[in-house]
Chains A and B, each alone.
Chain A
Amino acid sequence: MNDDELLRALAQATAETGQMVVWSALLTLLLGLPLGVLLVATDRGGLVPAPAARAVLGGVVNVGRSLPFIVLMVAILPFTRLVTGTTIGTVAAIVPLTLGAVPFYARLVETALREVDRAVVEAAQAMGAGRTRIVARVLLPEALPGLVAGLTVTVVALIGYSAMAGAIGGGGLGDLAIRYGYQRFDTTVMVITVVLLVAVVQIVQSLGDLVARRLSHR
């Protein structure tokens, strides 16, 4: 590859990675947050104790968490086709990325919500607040720094997973590194993609830390 081609390939790969990560992160937030809230609320002594439902939810989350991403990705190919109409490409990659990250983030949400002082929830109950208000106005705002920190960790994990999505033609920086850097022994491409990936992860993590710190008034 000449410099021009290299630059274009890098730009495209970065855009693909960004597309995969941003979309799957948004979907993960949308699905993982309620799932995490349900995990806490249905627990014994929670807002809506429901041990059976909680056991099922916990089981589903654990199955999701125990599958290696590359296996999950291949195993759900029929589902991916059902949702996106295809099994290859960046859009198709968003499906397994989201499914892999949702249980991961749900557990982090669960942990963050458990950090909220029980006495504060009780105080809200004593004031006559209902469950919905307690979740929306007490649990989530109080856990916000933890929820942001959890999302940061999830996004970093998604950047890692997205490299594997290259295996189903998802494209992105990981794919570029494997095709050029590994299979064609193009050390320059390899070094550049590695540096890019490290830089992106650093930026995401620092940004996440900063936001979490700003939100925390403890």
Chain B
Amino acid sequence: MIQLSSVRKVYGNGVVALDGVDLDVRAGEIHGVLGRSGAGKSTLLRCVNLLERPTGGTVTVDGRELTALGQAELRRARRGIGMIHQHFALLSSRTVAGNVAFPLEVAGVPRRERARRVGELLELVDLTGKASAYPAQLSGGQKQRVGIARALAARPKVLLSDEATSALDPATTQSILALLGRLNAELGLTILLITHEMHVIKAACDSVSIMTDGRIAETGPVAGLVARPGSLLTREIFPLPEPAPPGSVTVTFAGRADEPIMSTLVRAFDVDVNILGGSLEELAGVPMGRLRVRIGGERSAEALAYLRKRGLLLDEAAPAGAALLGEGRP
């Protein structure tokens, strides 16, 4: 549904915001782009509807190459792409109904039809009673609901979300994310969202891309990435103190966190398992996590081999003094 191909964006002052980004968001999925501020994720999002024109590369949305369109065609194409904003970007001079009607006016929808559609949209986002309120009279969560209703007014297939929950409190964030999830499921809406908050990815996204320094470092389904060795996402979702203490082993469970694997280990190989730290939780209904342990005993090498055989990812820290002696791992 959204394809970015080697998109580059270099600003006038020489800053490279996007350094050859490829992205493919499939129809009907919620894709999250995670990154720290300055990683280029905001520029990435603004390149999708060409609010920011890429210096190089192509942007294709719903089969149309936007980067090849003229001004008038681009304006028409933008009506098929909704956008919600961190600080809502509502017209303060218009009522809730007036705000939601705005994109319909742009699209040339007749007045009567507009009123009907506005009523429908406000019902969709649970704001029926607020039609004649002004944005200043609403709470942050309500404002974002207006933003969502407005973004959906022209029946877009794609919704872009620019840190839409970053200005909201945790409970409101959850309800907005739930709303996005519902719209995704009910309308088949494809959603591309950018965020710096891990919990947004966890709560809402089917797939994720991680951005650092204007590049996409990792991309794929959330569960798939966690199962990949050395994944940045795993480290972000299941944080453990870094660097790992010497001689410790960090075990990544992707879908196996409910098996009593450690106690099996202890019984079968007669080893001591000392738990140093762990971070476990359910992701998309599948238990996942990371556990950091130190395994002692004569048969510890066998125990590790057993864990690998069970499909768990192991990351062994060098034993104390190993670097000093110039020895590799056993």
Residue of B nearest to A119 (CB): B89
Q: Are B85 and A124 in contact (CB under 8 A)?
A: no
Residues of chain A contacted by B78 (CB below 8 angstroms)? 125-128
Query: Which of A122, A133, A144, A218 has a CB less than 8 Å from the CB of B106?
Result: A133
Whether A128 contacts B75 in the complex (CB less than 8 A), given A120-B90, A141-B94, comes out as yes
Query: Would you list which residues of chain B between 82 and 117 have a CB under 8 Å from chain A?
Result: 83, 85, 87, 89-94, 102-103, 105-107
- In the complex, A158→B90 CA distance in Å? 36
Known: A126-B51, A128-B106, A217-B136. A120 touches B91 (CB 8 A): yes
Answer whether residue B199 sits at the interface, using C-beta atoms and an 8 A cutoff.
no
Residue of A nearest to B105 (CB): A137
The answer to whether residues A127 and B154 also contact, given A119-B85, A217-B134 and a CB cut-off of 8 A, is: yes
What is the chain B residue whose CB lies nearest that of A133? Answer: B106
The reply on B79 being an interface residue by CB < 8 A is yes
**Interface status of A129 (Cβ within 8 A of chain B):** yes
Q: A117 on the interface (CB 8 Å rule)?
A: yes
Contacts of B136 in A (CB 8 A): 217-218
Q: What per-residue 1/0 map shows which CB atoms of A105-142 lie under 8 Å from chain B?
A: 00000000000010110111111111001000110011
Contact: A217 with B92, CB < 8 Å? yes
Residues in B with CB closer than 8 Å to A130 are 75
Given contacts A127-B78, A128-B75, A217-B134, contact A122 B154 (CB under 8 A): no
* Bound complex: CA A111 to CA B185 (Å): 45
Residues on the A chain within 8 Å of B150, using CB: 127
> How many residues from B make CB contacts under 8 Å with A?
29
In the complex, which residues of chain A have a beta carbon less than 8 angstroms from the beta carbon of B106?
124, 127-129, 133
Contact (Cβ within 8 A) A142 B89: no
**Smallest CB separation, A106 vs chain B (Å):** 22
Contacts of A119 in B (CB 8 A): 85, 87, 89
How far, in angstroms, from A39 to B91 measured CA to CA in the complex?
22
Which residues in window 44-97 of B have CB below 8 A to A?
49, 51, 74-79, 81, 83, 85, 87, 89-94
CB neighbours of A144 from chain B (8 A): 93
Tell me the complex Cα distance, A138–B89, Å. Answer: 11
Interface size class of A (residues with CB under 8 A): 20 to 34
Q: Which residues of A contact B93 (CB under 8 A)?
A: 141-142, 144, 215, 217
**Complex Cα spacing A137 to B98, Å:** 11
Among the interface residues A133, A137, A217, which one has the most CB atoms of the partner chain B within 10 A?
A217
Residues of B within 8 A of A215 (CB): 93
A133 CA to B76 CA in the complex, in Å?
14
Contact B91 A138 (CB under 8 A): yes
- Whether the pair A126, B91 counts as a contact (CB closer than 8 A) is no
Which residues on the A side are within 8 Å of B51 (C-beta)?
122, 125-126
Q: Are A127 and B94 within 8 A (Cβ)?
A: no
Using Cβ atoms and an 8 Å threshold, which residues of chain A touch B83?
123, 126-127
| Whole-angstrom distance between the Cβ of A205 and the nearest chain B Cβ | 23
Assess the A127–B92 pair: CB atoms within 8 A: no
Closest partner residue, chain B, to A141 (CB atom): B93
Contact of B103 among A120, A122, A127, A142 (CB under 8 A): A127
Q: 1/0 per position for A73-112, CB-CB distance to B under 8 A?
A: 0000000000000000000000000000000000000000
The CA-CA distance from A124 to B147 in the complex, in Å, is: 12
Which of B79, B91, B94, B135 makes the CB contact (< 8 A) with A128?
A: B79
Judge whether B102 and A128 touch: CB under 8 Å: no
A123-B134 CB under 8 A given contacts A128-B106, A137-B102? no
A residues less than 8 Å from B90 (CB atoms): 120
Residues of A within 8 A of B81 (CB): 126
A142 and B85 contact, CB distance less than 8 A: no
In the assembled complex, the Cα of A217 lies from the Cα of B92 at a distance in Å of: 6
Q: Taking the nearest CB of chain B, how far is it from the CB of A135, in angstroms?
A: 14
A125 surroundings in chain B (CB, below 8 A): 51, 78
Would you give the shortest CB distance from B15 to chain A, in whole angstroms?
16
Question: Which residue of A is nearest B135, CB measured?
Answer: A217
Interface residues of B in 207-244 (CB under 8 A from A): none
A sample of 26 inter-chain contacts (CB < 8 A) reads A117-B87, A119-B89, A120-B89, A120-B90, A120-B92, A122-B51, A123-B89, A125-B51, A125-B78, A126-B51, A126-B78, A126-B81, A126-B160, A127-B106, A127-B150, A128-B77, A128-B79, A128-B106, A129-B106, A137-B105, A138-B91, A144-B93, A217-B93, A217-B134, A217-B135, A218-B136
Q: B interface vs A, CB < 8 Å? A: 49, 51, 74-79, 81, 83, 85, 87, 89-94, 102-103, 105-107, 134-136, 150, 154, 160
A119-B87, A126-B51 given; name 4 further pairs at CB < 8 Å: A122-B89, A125-B51, A129-B106, A217-B136
Counting from the closest, the 9 A-B pairs by CB-CB distance are A128-B78, A123-B89, A217-B134, A119-B89, A128-B75, A128-B79, A126-B83, A127-B103, A141-B93
